[in-house]
Structures are given as structure tokens and as C-alpha cells.
Amino acid sequence: MNVAALPGVQATKAAWQPEYARLPARLANLHLPPNGDESHHIHAHLAVYVDAKVVPVPANVGISMADRLESPMHTHDTSGVIHIEASQPSTVFTLGAVLDLWSVSLHREGAAAEQVGQDG
């Protein structure tokens, strides 16, 4: 998937806030299993560092209050805990999918593309 082509992907330096306006369009591109029944419910922890400094994972990644939308993979607070609550396990629950929901594109060197002065 060309992450740079996803709607709303941020081209700024850290720290990044969730981008909500185009979350439904990004979510449609990820093909995550539906949430609701939550028979698959796990938690993962994400810590992000840029130039040896912690970049907080914000609350409500993957959740849009305005659209009444909750992705099966999301955050509730700034603890870095990623909630995966879906009807079934899936191989699409990845770090890349979390970053896509968050609307952050990381470059191969591990920093946002714009921080290293290169494109996606």
C-alpha cells in the first residue's frame, strides 16, 4: 500500500495528533475485520522514539467521535496501549496499520519522511 497516498497522512514533524477528518477513508483502505462482537480482544504497547526522544501515542487514534466511528484497532489514552477488539484475529493488525490510522508515515530510517528531507 502506498501510505503517502492515504487521505490525511501527515507531513509534519513529531509530535503527531490523530487526523480525524479523513479517518473513514483511511479505514476503508485497511480492510480490518469488523469490531462489535469483540471475540478477539488483545492489547499491544507501542513506544515511538524520534532522535532518542519519546513521541507520545495520542488518545483516540482510530476513533472519530464526530463520525461515531471506532476502528477495531485504536487507543483510548496516551499510555501507548493499542486496543485490538475485533470479531476475529487477522494478519492486518500491524504496526503499519496503527500508523495509517494515526495518519503518520514513517520513513525507512525510522523518522517521519519530512524529518529526513525525503519523500515517503
- Please report the pLDDT score of residue 17 as a whole number: 78
- Please report the pLDDT score of residue 115 as a whole number: 32
- Please report the pLDDT score of residue 117 as a whole number: 29
Q: Report the phi/psi class of residue 113: left, alpha or beta, with left for phi > 0 and alpha for psi in -120 to 50.
A: alpha
Q: What whole-number distance in Å separates Cα of residue 19 and Cα of residue 101?
A: 8
Total domains present in the chain = 1
- Please report the pLDDT score of residue 33 as a whole number: 81
Which of these, 67, 75, 82, 61, lies nearest to 18 by C-alpha position?
Answer: 61
Q: What whole-number distance in Å separates Cα of residue 55 and Cα of residue 24?
A: 24
Range of the domain at 105: 3-116
The whole model's pTM is what? 0.74
- Please report the pLDDT score of residue 114 as a whole number: 35
- Please report the pLDDT score of residue 81 as a whole number: 96
Tell me the mean pLDDT per 10 residues along the chain, length 120.
Answer: 53 70 84 79 89 88 88 94 89 88 67 35
Could you give the 3-state DSSP secondary structure of residue 116?
helix
